[in-house]
A and B are shown apart, each in its own frame.
Chain A
Amino acid sequence: MRQTVSHWRGLLATRLALGLVLLYLLIPLGATLAFGLSGGHGWRGDLSALSAVFGDPDFWLTLLTSLGLAAGTTLLVLLLLTPTAYQVRLRLPQGRGLLETLALLPFAVPPIVLGTGLLQEYNGTAANSPLVVLLSLGLVPLLSNVFPLLDIPLLLVCSYVIVALPFAYRAIDNSLRAVDVKVLTEAAASLGAGWWQTLLQVILPNIWPGVLTAALLTFSTVMGELTLASLFNTYTFPIYLNMTGQNDPHRAALLAVLSFLLTLFCVLGIVPGSRLHAGAGRAALPGQIEGAGLR
């Protein structure tokens, strides 16, 4: 009897704590939504403010631009980092320290410095200086003169890759750490698998949660990034949000809620996907695990 009372008390306390946290998160969000819908005269039960947001062509333009940039950056981050982190862990474990330091460097360089530096570098004047030519092995002049990167969003995507590097690398490297990469690779090789086959068919499914976390972090970083987009003169969703906020705070509040919901949908889409892909049954119930004795 005493145990049952204690059990119910524990359950109640847990639910109370959970409820308080939810209230802490939801009250500001609800208030922002109410403020956004009210239009300055109190909410009268209509969704005209929301219709006005969706009716604005700039909303869709900037949203699609940001989504495109985020998708491109995420793709580039994953394509660059996953094979690199795998190869370093497999063949060059002593290089992990260097890679970790490089991955942390963007924290030390503010986006405004990064953006200004890149623009200076690729604007044609600095690109042709002998030092830049030498240090970049001729790549920077080639990219700025022959293939003018500034005219296309690729340079901005590359900048976003650098900004997202610390989060993405950590997520992927932590997943790799949880897997015996060397032994799995050797097992796959002994069965005839080459490097790419091993990465795609053996390693990737086992580090899938980390890869998706990296994707999610990169995606959300780009969706909320303002400084670099502003410096690169690209009209993205955060810039639209910022400009709208200066003229119409109610609409800005609505946009903030929409932005939150967009990220939430991404998370809800990615997290279950990662669980499905990470191999059915890895988190089986204890009762399902049969291990004792000889069979």
Chain B
Amino acid sequence: MAFLELQELTKSFGKTRAVERISLGVERGEFLTLLGPSGCGKTTVLRLVAGFEQPDAGHILLDQEEITTRPANRRPMGMVFQSYALFPHMTAEQNVAFGLRLRRLPPALIRQRCEELLALVGLAERARSYPHQLSGGQQQRVALARALAVEPKVLLLDEPLSALDAAVRVTLREEIRRIQQQLGMTVIYVTHDQEEALAISGRIAVMARGRLEQLGTPEEIYRRPRTVFVAGFVGASTRLSARLERAVEGRCRLDGILLRVPPQPELSDGSAVLLVVRPELVTLCQLNEASGAAADGGGQRQGQENVLLGTVELRTFLGAVTRFRVRAAGGQLFTVDLPGLQAGTLVPGQRVRLSFPPEACLVLPLEETGSGVTALPVPEWPAGTTGQPGPEREPQPEHA
């Protein structure tokens, strides 16, 4: 059993089901992020864990002890809020000391602990400042020190960086990670920022409509999304509706174009699928009109590569990469990222050749229904995909 266990948690507000049968476990010392769009229920899960809300059903176990109905002030949790929630009438030091004073610790020990914690968050010299005399980043550091002061078993952070500007966000998230690793703290972190989640987390739980869509490491979430939602929400991608022609051979048809994808022995021929292609796995090549490149609309292969012809519609400079929107001859829109120099002189209106290996295609089966299509959790990103650093891991079991 995990250190913190959430079992079948369900919570409704009126007729709105905010959280639906969420089950997940957090190991001791782990950094777990709840990621999802606004209204997906991630903050509600955090508030259930903190004890600010009571679940309609389900259990919360901490260190094998049931705490589902225990009041918030008796749970060994520390909380950092999006709005900092510092007590305005207290200095930074008094804020940090608040929880310690409630525990009736000796004043000398309280003073020493405050000094240590304020030093840990880099605010030793601002101990006597009131919250309104501190910047947003500093206030959030004080809030972090205050939450850490009571030595919680689990630290809960509810979008702590959302109210800060971009530069402070990046620095502070690295500091939060450093402090978490330094103290070996168990952390549950809520955010809607997928970049932040990928950068900071040990594991990520992606949520949508009150349900857990996928639980896994940042690499797994990015490379092996198990649902259409996760594929679309985490990272940029090109998503194409296609139909498998020969599943075991990995041949599928996209609007009349034949594409190579990894073999899909679990799926049957004729299955409707969604192809997900990450933008950094597609290469672009300026089409030389004089070379007489095939003008059959694409689908041709050079070796095992999928090759399509298209036209650049938009070029966006993003710093490290340049992002292109390319419309293929069949009308499909592709998102392509090229590193600085490779972007070269490609400009909107230019004819290009898009190519990507079969391994770049993640195949998500679509369940055809009367009202549309629904993704099923099945596929695994094929091993040996080019340009994918880091170890491959087994996908986590689905908790839906």
Q: Which residues of A are interface residues toward B (Cβ below 8 A)?
A: 179-180, 183-184, 186-194, 197, 201-202, 205-206, 278-282, 284, 288-295
Contact of A192 among B73, B122, B167 (CB under 8 A): B73
Q: Are B132 and A191 in contact (CB under 8 A)?
A: no
In the bound assembly, the distance between CA atoms of A187 and B147 in angstroms comes to: 9
Listed A/B pairs (5) with beta-carbon separation below 8 Å: A187-B87, A190-B77, A282-B130, A290-B135, A294-B171
| Chain B: minimal CB distance from A94 (Å) | 12
Residue on B with the closest CB to A204? B89
Q: Which of B18-26, B78-86, B220-228, B328-336 contacts A (4 or more CB under 8 A)?
A: B78-86
In the bound assembly, the distance between CA atoms of A280 and B91 in angstroms comes to: 9
Q: Are B133 and A190 in contact (CB under 8 A)?
A: no
Q: Are A279 and B137 in contact (CB under 8 A)?
A: no
- Beyond A192-B99, A280-B130, is A184–B89 a contact (Cβ under 8 Å)? no
| Chain B: minimal CB distance from A23 (Å) | 39
How many residues of chain B are within 8 Å of chain A by beta carbon? 41
Q: Are B78 and A295 in contact (CB under 8 A)?
A: no
Our count of residue pairs bridging A and B at CB distance below 8 angstroms stands at 101
| Chain B: minimal CB distance from A184 (Å) | 6
Q: Are B72 and A295 in contact (CB under 8 A)?
A: no
**Is B102 an interface position by the 8 A CB rule?**
yes
Contacting A at CB under 8 A, from B152-182, are 156, 167-168, 171
Q: Chain A binding site: helix, strand, loop or mixed by DSSP?
A: loop
Q: Which residues of B are interface residues toward A (Cβ below 8 A)?
A: 50-52, 71-74, 77-79, 81, 83, 85-90, 98-99, 102-103, 122-123, 126, 130, 132-138, 146-147, 149-150, 156, 167-168, 171
- Beyond A189-B73, A194-B73, A282-B88, is A291–B52 a contact (Cβ under 8 Å)? no
- Beyond A281-B132, A281-B133, A289-B133, is A189–B72 a contact (Cβ under 8 Å)? yes
Q: Give the one of A188, A202, A295 with max B CB within 10 A.
A: A295
Q: Are A278 and B89 in contact (CB under 8 A)?
A: yes
Residue on A with the closest CB to B139? A291
Return chain B residues, CB-CB under 8 Å to A194: 73
In the bound assembly, the distance between CA atoms of A191 and B77 in angstroms comes to: 8
- Beyond A191-B98, A192-B73, A290-B135, is A186–B79 a contact (Cβ under 8 Å)? yes
Residue on A with the closest CB to B79? A190
Residue on A with the closest CB to B149? A191
Q: Are B99 and A205 in contact (CB under 8 A)?
A: no
Q: Are A191 and B99 in contact (CB under 8 A)?
A: yes
Q: Are B134 and A290 in contact (CB under 8 A)?
A: yes
Q: Are B138 and A295 in contact (CB under 8 A)?
A: yes
In the bound assembly, the distance between CA atoms of A289 and B52 in angstroms comes to: 33
Return chain A residues, CB-CB under 8 Å to B78: 190-191
| Chain B: minimal CB distance from A121 (Å) | 40
| Chain B: minimal CB distance from A182 (Å) | 9
Return chain A residues, CB-CB under 8 Å to B52: 186, 189
Residue on B with the closest CB to A293? B135
